[in-house]
Each structure stands twice: as C-alpha cells, then as structure tokens.
Structure 1
C-alpha cells in the first residue's frame, strides 16, 4: 500500500518553512477540498504560483502534481484512538491484518523514497572502510545492534554499543578512513547529534538513516538513506519506522556481502562452523 500524501506531509511538516509550510498547512486543514483541486486551483487558494506548488510536491518526494494528487485519495487510518488505525470493536483477525498492513506500508513507502544511487554508494563506502561504527540512541540502538550483528557475517571490522558515553569515545577514535552509520528516526535526537559532531571533527564519512531528510542529522551527513512510515500513532512510531530501518540495514548488508564476494563466503563458512559446534 502506497503512503498517503497527507501522511507524508505530516512527516515532513516540522522541516518545512516559508511557502512550503503555507502549502502544507493549507492541505492539512482542507483535506476533502484539496483532493479534487487542480494545481492552478491550489495556487489560487494559497496565493502562490503553480511553479511554487510544483516545487513543493517534488520536495516531499513526488514526480508531479498529478502523482501527488492521486496520493491524496489513499484512505487514511482512524487516528482517534490510542492505536490510531485500531478500532475498539476490532477482533483479533482484524487487528492482525491492520498490524501487518502497517508493516507492509512502511516497507512500500520506504521503497518509494529510497535513493538507489545513495544506497549503492553507502555499500561501497562500507566495503572499503578501515572500520565501521553503527550508532543509535534509544529505539535506534536496536537497529544499530542489528546492523552490527549482520555485518559480523562479512569481513567488515564493525562495532556498536548502546551507551551514549561509549559511543562518544568510539567516535573520537575514528578517522577519515572509517565510516559511521548513524540511525535516528527524527534526525533530531540531541545525543545522536552530539555523536555526529565528534565524527565530523575526525573526518569520518557519515551515512544517516532517518525518516526526515531535512533534519539536522540528514543535512550534516555525507549520505542519507531515507525511511518512511505513517507516523500517525504511537504503535506506528515504535514499530513501522523500526521495520523500515531494519530493512534498509538488511539491504546494505546484502549489497556489501555481494560486493565482497568470496571474502564474505569465507567468513560465513567459518562462523557457521563455529556456531554449529554449540549445537552438538
């Protein structure tokens, strides 16, 4: 299921200013009206030019106003309850379907916004790095640990630790021969940004994984891998974003594994043999 245009605007809203913020606010306060508007009608309603409207829709990830307009017709979940799309009278069957649908939406939406050239470049940087650090605070530390766990199956020399102080110490030990994968859904976590500053001071290449491409993390990273999820409720924020980011990590791991070819195969073989010994 594709991501609703309204949901995408909500995701970007805190990062918008000027005419972009004006357009976003108009759309979010006139949801029924804008679904049938032409680009000229929206320009008239906001007292802006059609060119400004066109730049806005491209800035939030659409190729054309028509594509954006069609996205506005995608039905939105009910967010009047604690779990947003879950209704009080939903039975187990419907709750299961909605939870899985949310996960599927996170993946399909991320696939739409993920830049293939960026992820290919990220894989190349990781493959040629002296060492790779995986950084994340809170829920993002789970994604960072997952990345570390996966890349243990490659020749990559990687590290990860959930403690902020240790992350800072690791950051200042890195050099311009290293790569840091920094994960933050919002891109605004103060501790994460502090770690990023230490990485920058030491010339480390920074790959950011975030859902907010206009966040401070994204603006200061050397490369951005964008995730997307319908952030309309607590469950979505804690789960859908996590699923999208885990899948980006899995894609990176697969690309690096393929790039390193026989070296990866040799590491995998030795790891499997070691693990098999624990199962006898």
Structure 2
C-alpha cells in the first residue's frame, strides 16, 4: 500500500503510468481516465465512475488496489490533491504527442517536456530506502553483471562502465547466450541487474531468474512494477517514460533508466569514496596519457 504521508501528486501520476501496461483492459480504461482528467474522477462516486467507464465497481476497486490504495475512497483523496496541484490541465499528466506535421519548435518543446517529465516521475516514485539497499549490495559485491538488449543494452553498458571506473568488477551483457552463461556462474555475494522497459524481455528475465537461483542479489530497472522481471528480482527500481508514436517505449524510458544508473553510481561512489576517488584518478590519468600519446604519434606520422 502507498503510505498516505508520503503520497504526492507526482508519484501518484508516475504510479499510474508505471502499472498501466500490466492492467487488465477494463482497468486500463479507468487508469487512462485518471491520467486524462484526475479532477473529474476525484469528483465522481464509484457508481458515477462505473457508468462513465462502462466498467464494474469491483473493477474500480481492484484498479485502486493495483495502484497501491486500500480502496476507491483513498484513491479519490489522492486524485483530488493531484488535480489541485495540476494547474496546466491534462497535458501536465500526459505531455502532448508529436504529430508528423509538427514544426521543429514544437518538437523541441514536446520532447523536452516529455524527457523532463520522465525524470520527475522517476525521482518522485523512487524510494530512498530501496535505493540504499541496492547501493549497499553493489558496494560489497564480488562481481556485478548487468543485462539488457537494444536501448536497454546501452543503459546496461553505461552502468557497467561507470562501476568499472570506480574499481568494481562490472560487466554488461547484451547477448542472451552470454547473459545466461554469466548468470548461472554467479554466486552469493554477486549482484545481477536487469534493465528492461517492459520487464518482459526474455533475454533479460531468464538470466535474472537464473542469477537469483544461483544465489546472487537481483535488481530490476523497469517501467513495470508488475512485470515478470520485477517478480524474479529481489529489488525493483522503477523508471518512467511514456511511449508515443515517434518515441517507442525503449527510447522514452532510456533517460529515466540512465537517471537511476546515476543514482546508483553516485551512491556507491559515496560509500567507497576513498577507493572510488583513487580509481577515478587512475583511470582519468591513463586515458589522458593515452590521448596525449596518440596525438603525438599522429604528429610524427605527418
């Protein structure tokens, strides 16, 4: 359940977006009504909302519980707060989609707004306590393996590269066969991280399942807290990002996934400041010398 003391309009909106893909078709109708017009839903009795959405009152109650509330009454209170703080209308909750004939000025504005919203939603719903658990596990890990494919594979590579720079044994796997090979060889004291927007990518879900069985701590970075990936992982960090016609889910979520990676990286660097600072200095010096030597060799060749 959501703690009413910590619930905010921002993390309510992020929560609705996050669970939307995993809801039943009837529940998705209610969730979209919430995103489109929270004020109207907040003013509606359960009977009125049932008529407006053509769904049953039982479905409304189940949807409220899927969003983390004990029932519809508690959800209405949270929606009223969200509507009261939303002065920019429904677009505050759902940024406008890009159209084929949008001028580039609108493209700049809409993409910027969507990216900023994704970052805000991710920050709003991320639990510092849960982040701390993940940071703690990675800080003491013997090995950290990160799995992802396509755009999420780029995020996996970014995470492994960052952790490697501060002296940790981190590796990224974007190939399913290599991922499974890595996962089954992990053991207690290791950490496996899976990155998947939908949380249903088999190439990521299965390695995390195998890594958990091998005894490794498992972490999911996903948009969907009710996904298969979330179910097999001991820790779930929720990213945010809304899919549009010109921004598929993977692209829409990449920036928020990278934000989570940065949260983890900074947290680990803080806890290992002496070692991480020395590692950063050593790697920076090595790269600087390599670039300098390469330039000198290039001049001699001319």
Q: Aligning the two structures, in what range does the TM-score lie when normalised by the shorter sequence?
A: 0.7 to 0.9
TM-score (norm 1): 0.83
Q: Distance in 2 between matches of 1:7 and 1:248?
A: 15
Which residue, 15, 19, 26 being the options, matches 1:12?
A: 19
2:174 is aligned to 162
String of CA shifts for 1:34-90, please: whole Å, max 9, x gaps. 742446613554353797675354359x9853332454664249x9xxxx7223443
For 1:163 and 1:223, locate their aligned partners in 2 and report how far apart those are by CA, in whole Å. 23
Q: Give CA-to-partner distance per residue, 1:73-120, whole Å, 9 cap, x none.
A: 64249x9xxxx7223443222211211111101101111111111111
Partner of 1:48: 57
1:278 to 290, 293, 297: 290
Deviation at 1:24, TM superposition (A): 3.9
Equivalent positions of 1:131-210 (< 5 A) are: 131-210=143-222
1:58 to 61, 68, 82: 68
Q: Cα–Cα, structure 1 residues 27 and 204, in superposed 2: closer, same or farther, change >3 Å?
A: closer
**Structure 2 spans left out of the alignment, 5+ residues:** 1-8, 51-55, 293-302
Of 78, 81, 88, the residue aligned with 1:67 is 78
Once the two structures are TM-superposed, the CA of residue 197 in structure 1 deviates from its matched residue by 2.2
C-alpha displacement at 1:270, in angstroms? 0.6
Q: Does the alignment pair 1:231 with 2:214?
A: no
TM-score (norm 2): 0.78
Alignment length, in residue pairs? 270
Post-superposition offset of 1:227: 0.6
Q: Partner of 2:259 in structure 1?
A: 247
Answer 1 or 2: which has greater helix percent. Answer: 2
